[in-house]
Amino acid sequence: MPLRNFGLPELIIILVIVLLVFGVGRVSKVGKELGTAISEFRTGLKSGMKDDDTEDEDESGPTE
């Protein structure tokens, strides 16, 4: 039995089941932690890009 694409009704049913099993407090806590993790990941990517840019400038020497 192959899996088919999930539509909006199926996602709503899954969300209701998750809320019933874990409770609103736990789900909101996990959502907050997930948001924080995504934010930190993006910040890390930006700082990594900045570090790569400064390394390229350092290796090329002075630009006079």
For residue range 5-59, list pLDDT tens digits in order.
878 899 899 989 988 998 989 988 998 999 999 999 999 999 888 777 776 665 5
Residue type, 2: P
Query: Distances in Å between the alpha carbon of 63 and those of 54, 56, 57, 59?
Result: 13, 12, 9, 11
Residues 6+ apart with CB under 8 A from 6: 14
The reported pLDDT for the residue numbered 62 is 57
The reported pLDDT for the residue numbered 5 is 80
The reported pLDDT for the residue numbered 35 is 94
The reported pLDDT for the residue numbered 61 is 55
- The pTM of this model reads 0.53
